[in-house]
Amino acid sequence: MATLRELRDERLRKLEELKRSGVALYPARVERTHQAKAIVEQFGELEGSEAIVTGRIVSTRKFGKIAFFVLRDASESLQLFIKHDVLTHTDGGNAEIAFQQLNLLDPGDFVEATGKVIKTQTGEISIEVTRLRLLTKSLRPLPAEHDGFTNKEERLRRRYIDTNVNKDVYERYLRRSAFWDATRHFLQGEGFVEIATPVLENIPGGADAKPFITHMDALDHDFYLRISHELPLKRLLGGGYEKVFDIGPRFRNENYTDEHLPEHNAMEWYWAYADWQDGMQLTQKLVRSVVDATWGTRQFELANGQQVDLGDDSTDWERISFVEVIREKYGLDAHDASLDEVKKALADNGLEVEKQDNRARGIDKLWKKIRVELPGPAFLVDIPTFMQPLAKTQPKDKRLSEQFNLILGGTEACKAYSELNDPIDQLERFKEQQAMRDKGDDEAQMLDIDFVEMLEYGMPPACGFGYSERLFWLLEGVTAREGVPFPQLRYEVSETTKSIYPDLSL
């Protein structure tokens, strides 16, 4: 079997032969009248008429004076029927290929085909080609679809191959796009305005996460990549906007897991004059609407085997009390348990006890052990105030925050709460977080005095909500790295490429 290097050399030889014969390579101008899917679906109307199609050659078969190519574009595959006495018009200066040059084409090449829409004797809808232009010569062969492309590392590094040969992967990122389009469409229909917020921040906030740091030469100043959209969007509420949202990347300097990526897309909305109860109702509508538009079903079997039914619009999702669950499962009072009691519960349940663990971190670990067993959908409520520094407290019990998390498939798919807008209370909570940070908790939030200043000017009561594309990965049934086209990996160059370009010191 030929090596990749040998196959590439053979294609380079063909490229040189085309060049010597006067074929203009890699033209810029392309004509197309129809996508392949339109030819197939509208055959009754188009039969006998001329059409121009473009795409990548998937396969080639040549039998003396006729040839059959399969061409694929983003919509569908279509057969090209090529006869030596029909493909007679050639103009090398226009990148046109003569019949006798078909052997210089390979699967993977991009072409433009002009011809009559027909059915062959076998009933295959085809283009009977009268003119064939070479748009791009592929120098490296794609894996054959029937051979598969299954090596996980290779698939992640060369997703452009993965999406070419694995149709399910190709379609996944179309659904990912539909997921965010549906999110945007729903929110705009509810009167929310999309306002982009900065990625570079002086002080990151809005989540417990370790930030990335970068440097801006123009100001000779370090900045952080945002870990959340929250604080800029709430500044907009203080600036007079009432319903705002942003969709875009955020960055958290943490390990890869099946549920987390250091870089991922997320959406957050903030709604003035609404509280967490309003937020729960809107969340049900939002998630159901986005799911309907993306998958067309509300019933899912997840990768972990759990069955999830998001229900019809007349039903509300279950509510689960955080405090009660911790008490029932571990015999701990989440409000009063000491750090030693929390550490003992961690050890008794086979969970790691780390030096920087504090009471909030420890209780959160205990909760996560329970969470994985809950398929949902359900709203987690009664979350202690000390675990959420940006939420308002419940009037009937100040120890509890007005926060809810959407539990789905054993994870927290969404988070929201009634936003804290008391500048004095907010400052005290920031101080508590900063003290945790000073003791070594590099995920605790930093004290943001500018945000406190904004609150002193006044921010209306509001509910804030956010979800990341983790919700998409969950319902799609894939891990985080399978859920994005290009996950970050260590930089690596293949040995074949190093041998091809020895002068580059790769």
Q: How many CA atoms are closer than 13 Å to the CA of 298, on its beta-carbon side?
A: 16
Report if residue 333 sits inside a domain: yes
CATH number of the domain bearing residue 257: 3.30.930.10
Expressed as residue numbers, the domain containing 79 is 4-136
What confidence score (pLDDT) does residue 356 get?
61
d(CA 264, CA 261) in angstroms, rounded, equals: 6
> What does the DSSP assignment read for 394-450?
ETTEEEEESEEEEEETTEEEEEEEEBP--HHHHHHHHHHHHHHHHTT-TTSPPP-HH
Residues 110 and 168 both lie in one domain: no
What confidence score (pLDDT) does residue 433 get?
83
Query: pLDDT tens for residues 110-147?
Result: 999 999 999 999 999 999 999 999 999 999 999 876 56
Report if residue 410 sits inside a domain: yes
**Choice between 435 and 140, residue whose per-residue pLDDT is larger:** 140
pLDDT of residue 337 exceeding 80, the answer is: yes
Q: What are the DSSP E strand ranges found in 64-219? A: 66-72, 77-83, 110-119, 125-136, 193-194, 200-201, 213-216
d(CA 363, CA 332) in angstroms, rounded, equals: 9
Q: How many domains does the chain have?
A: 2
Going by C-beta distance under 8 Å and a sequence separation of 6 or more, which residues neighbour residue 185?
A: 293
pLDDT of residue 365 exceeding 80, the answer is: yes
Report if residue 391 sits inside a domain: yes
Going by C-beta distance under 8 Å and a sequence separation of 6 or more, which residues neighbour residue 4?
A: 140, 141, 496
Report which listed range, 88-97, 187-196, 492-501, is most confident: 187-196
Percent of the chain with pLDDT over 90: 72
Report if residue 91 sits inside a domain: yes
Residues 328 and 459 both lie in one domain: yes
pLDDT of residue 391 exceeding 90, the answer is: no
Report if residue 292 sits inside a domain: yes
Residues 331 and 409 both lie in one domain: yes
Report if residue 303 sits inside a domain: yes
Residues 118 and 179 both lie in one domain: no
Q: Please give the distance of CA 474 from its chain centroid, rounded to a whole number.
A: 11
What confidence score (pLDDT) does residue 255 get?
86
β-strands 125-136, 77-83 pairing: parallel
CATH number of the domain bearing residue 44: 2.40.50.140
What confidence score (pLDDT) does residue 145 get?
61
Residues 97 and 170 both lie in one domain: no
What confidence score (pLDDT) does residue 362 get?
87
Residues 106 and 37 both lie in one domain: yes
Residues 186 and 281 both lie in one domain: yes
Residues 199 and 61 both lie in one domain: no
Residues 47 and 127 both lie in one domain: yes
Report if residue 491 sits inside a domain: no
Mean pLDDT of 296-309: 94
Residues 94 and 186 both lie in one domain: no
Report if residue 98 sits inside a domain: yes
Q: Picking from 119-128, 251-260, 351-360, which range would have the lowest pLDDT averaged per residue?
A: 351-360
Residues 97 and 218 both lie in one domain: no
pLDDT of residue 414 exceeding 70, the answer is: yes
Residues 347 and 470 both lie in one domain: yes
